[in-house]
A and B are shown apart, each in its own frame.
Chain A
Amino acid sequence: MTTSSPDQLDEFRAGVREWCRTHIPAQWRRAQTDVSDAEFVRFQQDWFQELRAAGFAVPHWPKQWGGGMSLAEQVVLYQELAAHDAPRLVLAFVSIHHAASTLLAAGTEEQRQRHLPAILNGEIWCQGFSEPGAGSDMAALQTTARRAGDGYVVNGQKLWASGAMHADWCLLLARTDPNAPKRHGISYFLLDMRTPGVDVRPIRQATGESHFCEIFLEDVTIPATRLVGPEHAGWRVAQQTLGAERGMTMLELAERLGNGGFRWLVRLCARPGPGGTRPLDDPLIGDRLATLEIELTGLRALCAELVANDHPGPADASIVKLYYSELLQRMTDFGTEVAGLAAHTELHKPRSSGWESGAWMLDFIGSWEWTIPGGTSEIQRTIIGERGLGLPREPTGH
């Protein structure tokens, strides 16, 4: 529970509003359309430092590490950032959520001291869990880490690592005990991406951009001090990382979608079309908009509850992840339908925008960035059924 009184919160909101008015780069959308990777990275780093100076970059972190905002304040912050169409910290997404929460929950004090301040200074992280033969069945991963002296030698291939081409560090899962049952022989490492033997190759994705990558690992040495949690106990640590992906990140995403994204959608529907009529004048459009507004309101309430709850239920994060991702899909699909052929002429969306940028067709294609990664919708439903409802487990098949 938060202790911020309504008056304090109003004051906080006014402060954030004022900050947004004076700090969000004017015309950033235009400036971020059709830019090079280097320009995108520079923009992201500058924006991160801008937010950091105001105390807005990592509000969800503990106070001692530079965060410490109450939940109510975080909600207000994300509402205002969304309402003022602030750029998103897309490049730092894994660093400030996945990496930070993993280090806070399972890292050594030394690892935290080394990396948390560095993340605030712009260190970029990626996540190397998936492999060609290990997607939904992540525990089937084959990349090996062989103990050698006071380190490990890693060999294998990772797939779909988002942002790996820009990353300084990687959250890496590798098999340390090939003889143990699948989940029991995996260890969790912090991999310096500049280590010799690391080869990153971007992959072009459905939207045309190259955001995710293959990572080839050939005799890569990782010092033992970069092991997170005990050797062979990496599976449990990985659950923490995935929990962060499905939990904490949702607060901002829900406000973005429910506040910013919905605003785009209403504006789209209120704009007169070729015949002079507005889509909004069609009661069916009004009905579908209202359906989405209702669902978004439910989503925002669910997210706030999830994040506030110290002891969430075993499937709560999966419920929110599933619901968010499919609602994002329904909404961007609807936006694409309303925008008509014009949506197909927007060939690029501004970088640094969220999953709902107003370039509806690209947003719709981009919505699969949420229904596939971090456990597909099918996997989430299985988790919800088994852990949330206690239904009988899937037969394992071997």
Chain B
Amino acid sequence: MSTRIEDLAELHHELRAVARDLLAKTAAESAVDWSLIARSGWLGLEAAAEFDGAEATFAEVAVILQELGRAAARSPYPAVAALGVGALNELEPGQDRDELLRDTVSGTTIPVLALPGEAAAAPFRLTRTPHGVLLDGTATFVPDAPTADRLLVPAIDSAGATVIVHIDARAAGMSVARQPVLDATRDFGSVVADSARPESMWRFHGDSDHALRRLHERAAVAVACDSLGLSEAMLDAAVAHAGVREQFGRKIGSFQAVKHACADMLVRVTVARKLVEAAVRSQTGDRADAAVTASMAKSYACAAAVDIAGKAMQLHGGMGYTWESGIHVYLKRATLNRSLFGSPAQHRRQLAERYSSIEYS
């Protein structure tokens, strides 16, 4: 038992080091080279060996997600690895699905799950018409939809079950419009289906509502990982600056107001890390507490990240407020993360719904 945990810790450590190194080579605001990501094997971390995957778990994907946050990197990786592959793994196997999974792992295709970044309901519908089955609906703030070539659209079929519709992003009746946001490191799109013809419709293993809920939880946890990583980066930056910048003949880090602000940032990052770890663990094991841990991690880590990035801006003084310093990039990303896939208040509301019937341990 303990050796496995140590092995894993070592594996994560290596993965983290490689990711940090690779991401450091990408210039600010440009997208990370997709073929490099594919060659690193990160896309297939959660895929089975038969699809050329590494048969690892979400815990390893989480390491990469955190590093992307730390680098404030621009990449569809979170959308593809956390959501695309996550969805494909939840679906019944079949020739088309298997093929798509294999292509995703190799990086030759970029499938994006059309999960709206704001509302939680599945907004797409399938209707049977004399001309065949047609897809209609709209999802807004879908992460990386503009980059996708394939779309995985969660839709309610005529029997009321949620299925995944596989469709070319440029198929007739489909349109993806870029939704520009202030955070320059992110790409969002609104996906509209207007009597589009699905290429294939795939079913989830087991209960489809459960599967969709799980995907929402994964999305929330993925964002929490990103926020944790960017919080760490901002804390490091603030501490480094406070250790060299001098005023009144002293390093500003020796002023208590500054030191204590940094100490509070460390406490929050430390707590966020524990909550994110717990959420990642429950995702990995399909545990009963997955919804609870996801909500806890999402609301705490994403709220903390905004405060931490804000504090980092403050502690850098006038320099922190410049475009050049790059801190605004993090502050914008953190603030966007806070709203993405459920605000802290929304997640806390879900937690609070349990209080009338809670069981403790």
**Are these two chains actual partners, yes or no?**
yes
Please give the residue numbers on chain A whose beta carbons come within 8 Å of chain B beta carbons, in ascending order. Answer: 1, 3, 79, 83, 259, 262-263, 266, 269-270, 280, 283, 286-287, 289-291, 293-295, 297-299, 301-302, 305, 315, 319, 322-323, 378, 380-382, 384-386, 388-395
Q: Known pairs A322-B263, A381-B260, A388-B266. 18 more at Cβ < 8 A?
A: A1-B2, A1-B5, A287-B345, A290-B347, A294-B275, A294-B296, A294-B348, A298-B300, A322-B267, A323-B271, A381-B256, A385-B259, A385-B263, A391-B253, A392-B242, A392-B243, A392-B251, A395-B254
Report the number of A-B residue pairs with Cβ-Cβ less than 8 Å: 125
Specify the main secondary structure of chain B where it touches its partner.
Answer: helix
Known: A297-B278, A391-B243. A384 touches B360 (CB 8 A): no
A80, closest chain B residue (CB): B361
Residues of A within 8 A of B347 (CB): 290
Could you say which residues of chain A place their CB within 8 Å of the CB of B270?
302, 319
Q: Which of A298, A305, A384, A393 contacts B263 (CB 8 A)?
A: A384
Within the complex, the shortest CB–CB distance from A292 to chain B, in Å, comes to: 10
B312 to chain A, nearest CB (A): 13
- Separation of A294 and B303 alpha carbons in the complex (Å): 12
CA distance A259 to B360 in the complex (A): 7
* The one of A83, A286, A299 that contacts B352, using a Cβ cutoff of 8 Å: A286
Q: Which of B250, B274, B353 contacts A298 (CB 8 A)?
A: B274
Q: Which residues of A contact B300 (CB under 8 A)?
A: 294-295, 298
Please indicate the chain A residues that have their CB under 8 angstroms from the CB of B80 in the complex: none
Asked whether B256 lies within 8 Å of A382 as measured between CB atoms, the reply is yes
Contacts of B355 in A (CB 8 A): 266, 269-270, 280, 286, 289
Distance between Cα atoms of A131 and B47 in the complex (Å): 64
Within the complex, the shortest CB–CB distance from A363 to chain B, in Å, comes to 19
Decide if A392 touches B349 in the complex (CB within 8 Å): no
- Chain A: minimal CB distance from B303 (Å): 9
User: What's the nearest-Cβ distance from chain B to residue A258, in Å?
Assistant: 9
Tell me if B159 is interfacial: C-beta within 8 Å of chain A.
no
Query: Which B residues are CB-close (under 8 A) to A384?
Result: 263, 266-267
User: Does B208 touch A at the CB level, under 8 Å?
Assistant: no
Q: Are A287 and B352 in contact (CB under 8 A)?
A: yes
A280 to B354, CA, bound (A): 11
Q: Which residues of B contact A (CB under 8 A)?
A: 1-2, 5, 239, 242-243, 250-251, 253-254, 256, 258-260, 262-264, 266-267, 270-272, 274-275, 277-278, 296, 299-300, 345, 347-349, 351-353, 355-356, 358, 360-361
Bound Cα distance from A273 to B84, whole angstroms: 48
Alpha-carbon distance between A289 and B355 when the two chains are bound, in angstroms:
9
- Decide: B260 and A301 in contact? CB cutoff 8 A: no
The binding surface of chain A is classed by DSSP as helix
Contact check, B278 vs A301: say whether CB atoms are below 8 A apart. yes
State whether B274 touches A302 (Cβ < 8 A). yes
Q: Is the CB of B348 within 8 A of A291?
A: yes
- B349 pairs with A287, CB closer than 8 A: yes
Q: Is the CB of B271 within 8 A of A388?
A: no
- Distance in angstroms from A45 CB to nearest chain B CB is 30
Is the pair B352, A381 in contact by a Cβ cutoff of 8 Å? no
Q: Which residues of B contact A302 (CB under 8 A)?
A: 270-271, 274
Q: Given contacts A294-B299, A392-B243, are A287 and B348 in contact (CB under 8 A)?
A: yes
Q: Verify B358–A381 contact, CB threshold 8 A.
A: no
A392 pairs with B250, CB closer than 8 A: yes
Set of chain A residues within 8 Å of B242, measured between Cβ atoms: 391-392
Which of B5, B266, B278 is the one whose CB lies under 8 Å from A389? B266
Q: Is the CB of B254 within 8 A of A394?
A: yes
Q: List the B side residues contacting A382 at CB < 8 Å.
A: 256, 259-260, 263
Partner of B253, one of A289, A294, A392: A392
In this complex, the member of B2, B253, B272 whose beta carbon has the largest number of chain A beta carbons within 10 angstroms is B253
Q: Which 8 pairs from chain A and chain B are nearest by CB?
A: A286-B352, A290-B348, A385-B259, A384-B263, A298-B271, A391-B253, A301-B274, A290-B351
Return A13 CB to nearest CB of chain B, in Å. Answer: 9
The reply to whether B259 and A381 form a contact with Cβ atoms under 8 Å apart is yes
CB-based nearest B residue for A386: B259
The CA-CA distance from A322 to B268 in the complex, in Å, is 11
CB neighbours of B243 from chain A (8 A) = 390-392
- In the complex, the chain A residue whose C-beta lies closest to that of B274 is A301
Q: Is the CB of B360 within 8 A of A83?
A: yes
CA distance A59 to B345 in the complex (A): 40
**CA of A392 to CA of B251 in the docked complex: distance in angstroms?**
7
Per the bound structure, the CA–CA distance linking A297 and B292 in Å amounts to 11
A287 to B351, CA, bound (A): 8
- Asked if B275 contacts A389 (CB within 8 A), the reply is no
User: What residues of B have a CB within 8 angstroms of the CB of A270 in the complex?
Assistant: 355-356
Find chain A residues with CB under 8 A from B271 CB. Answer: 295, 298-299, 302, 323
Give every chain B residue within 8 A of A323 (Cβ-Cβ): 267, 271
Which residues does chain A contribute within 8 Å of B264, judged by CB atoms? 381
- Pairwise interchain contact B351-A294, C-beta atoms closer than 8 A: yes
| Neighbouring B residues of A280 by C-beta, 8 Å | 352, 355-356
Enumerate chain B residues within 8 angstroms of A259, measured Cβ to Cβ: 360-361
Q: How far is the CA of A380 from the CA of B259 in the complex (A)?
A: 11
The answer for the CA separation of A386 and B239 in the assembled complex, in Å, is 10
Q: Measured between alpha carbons, how far is A378 from B260 in the docked complex, in Å? A: 8
Of the candidates B258, B260, B274, the one whose C-beta lies within 8 Å of that of A305 is B274
**Contact among B258, B263, B278, B296 for A388, CB-based, below 8 A:** B263
| Bound Cα distance A393, B259 (Å) | 9
* B262 engages A385 (CB within 8 Å): yes
Tell me the complex Cα distance, A381–B243, Å: 16
